[in-house]
Amino acid sequence: MSGAQAAVVILYHHVSDSTPKSTSISPERFEAQMDYLEKNNFKVVPLLELTEKLRKGEPLPDKTVAISFDDSYVSVYDSAYPRLKKRGWPFTFFVNTDSVGTSKLFVSWDQLREMSKNGVTIANHTTKHNHLPRRENNESNSQWRERITVEITRAQEKIVQEIGTAPKILAYPFGEYDVDVQQIAKKLGYIAFGQQSGVLYEKGDLQSVPRFPFGGSFTELDDFIMKVNTRPMPTKKVSFYSDKKTEQKNIIVKAGEKPWLVLELDGAAITKKINCFATEQGAITVEMIDNKLWAQAKQALAPGRTRYNCTAYSGEKGRFYWYTQQWLVTDKNGGWTYKD
């Protein structure tokens, strides 16, 4: 086998029939997905095993997945935990610590301690589950930095206090990050996860590690099979341009803009036909210039989280190269008008 090996991180929120559809998968469909992994000899490993390899720059094992859950929901304790325990499979639960134990919707610290004793990793999803890149009204950059640092650090301290230990991994609320948030996470020593699709990749950025989210309209087994078999798009470098001549450092754009994503391709990706798609736009513009892929939305981006997905057939049956870039789109004045 040639090229980078791949490990896929799976993300769920609720495992339940009675919670909001957009963030839920039914216990039956969850079970069917786990059956697929088992029958097809996937290795389910602790997420920390993968992050340790990333930290050391070691190659990732192929056909390996790690399972994660966000948001402290009690359905993880009620429905997912017993099913995964029965299979002897590890998983990681990212908890927003201020919500734990506050209502019937959320787990309690006792439940988390029980899970932890049985091999579940309890990890940081901040205290308050705020949109980290957003500044509050009249907040200076340094005040914002201080607030975000506290929201991450206090959650870590709370997990250590309640569970006894907390690994240096972080899941961004709503999967939202920008270069400033990444810098803070890096400075604090975290490997940090988004919610954009894609594959763990030893050459990828350690503060925007992708996960494949399953829930809402993405719970079909066929979609799951395609995604757990994806491979990272071989790339040397990722950059962003506001127009063909002007590089931009951040992934925050204003409504009405159409940023370029530039992937400097590596290895086998250079010869592949790559297709890119944008959220709610279908296929977008793709140009290849000197082994660089330039992708741009056809229509101006609307406020919210928007993604460009680029995929190509890898040449190996049933396996696609995948890269997703997330953009955070403000309103025309640079303000945040979308809610979730």
Q: Find the shortest distance in angstroms from Cβ 107 to Zn ion.
A: 14
Q: Whole-number minimum distance, CB 195 to Zn ion, in Å?
A: 8
Residues 156-175 binding Zn ion (CB under 5 A) are 173
If one asks whether residue 71 binds Zn ion (CB under 5 A), the answer comes out as yes
CB closer to Zn ion out of 175 and 198: 175
| Closest separation in Å from C-beta 20 to Zn ion | 13
State the residue number with the nearest CB to Zn ion: 70
- Between 93 and 132, how does the x/- string for binding to Zn ion read (CB under 5 A)? ----------------------------------------
What is the maximum span of the chain, computed from C-alpha positions, in angstroms?
56
Q: What is the smallest separation between the CB atom of 290 and Zn ion, expressed in angstroms?
A: 39
- Across the beta sheet with 260-265, what order do the strands follow? 246-248, 235-243, 260-265, 292-296, 285-289
Q: Minimal distance in Å, beta carbon 165 to Zn ion?
A: 22
Instruction: Specify the residue for token string 């980290």.
Output: 132
Count the neighbouring beta carbons within 10 Å of the beta carbon of residue 57.
8
d(CA 174, CA 165) in angstroms, rounded, equals 24
What is the rounded distance in angstroms from the CA atom of residue 173 to the CA atom of residue 193? 9
Question: Other CB atoms closer than 10 Å to residue 272's CB: what's the count?
Answer: 19
176 sits near Zn ion (criterion: CB under 5 A): no
Task: State the Cα angle at 172 between 168 and 177, rounded to 5°.
Answer: 115
Residue whose token pair is 């071989």:
234
Q: Which of 45, 70, 151, 310 touches Zn ion (CB under 5 A)?
A: 70
Q: Which is nearer to Zn ion, 12 or 109 (CB)?
A: 12
DSSP-assigned beta bridge partners for residue 294: 262, 287
CA 67 to chain centre: 12
Number of residues counted as binding Zn ion (CB under 5 A): 3
Region near Zn ion per CB under 5 A, out of 71-79, 135-143, 182-190, 250-258: 71-79
Give the binding site for Zn ion (CB under 5 A): 70-71, 173
